[in-house]
Chain A
Amino acid sequence: MSDSDRPRSSFAGMAELSTRPPVRMLSPDQIEQMLAEHQLYLETEYHQGHRANFASADLSQRDFSGRNLRGIKMDRAVLKGTNFRRARLQSANLVGAILHGARFDEADLSGARLSGANLVSANLENACLAKADGSRCWARRYCRAPVCARLT
Chain B
Amino acid sequence: MLTRADLQKANLRGAGFRHAQLNGADLRGTRLGGAFLVGASLHGADLRGAYLRLAKLDGADLSDANMHDTEGLTQAQLDAAHLSSGTKVPNCLTGAGDAKG
CB of B61, distance to nearest CB on chain A (Å): 11
Q: Are A122 and B15 in contact (CB under 8 A)?
A: yes
A-B contact count (CB 8 A): 105
Q: In the complex, A123 Cα to B19 Cα: how many Å? A: 11
> Using a CB-CB cutoff of 8 Å, which residues 72-86 of chain B contact chain A?
none
Q: Are B8 and A14 in contact, with the CB atoms below 8 A?
A: yes
A125-B17 contact given A130-B23, A130-B41, A131-B24, CB 8 Å threshold = yes
Report B1-39 CB contacts with A as 1/0, cut-off 8 Å. 011111111111111111111111110010000000000
Tally B residues with Cβ within 8 Å of A. Answer: 28
Interface of B is mostly: loop
Q: Are A127 and B24 in contact (CB under 8 A)?
A: no
Residues of chain A within 8 A (CB-CB) of B29 are 10, 13
**Complex CA–CA separation, A125 to B18 (angstroms):** 5
Chain A residues within CB distance 8 Å of chain B? 10-11, 13-14, 91, 105, 109-133, 137, 140-141
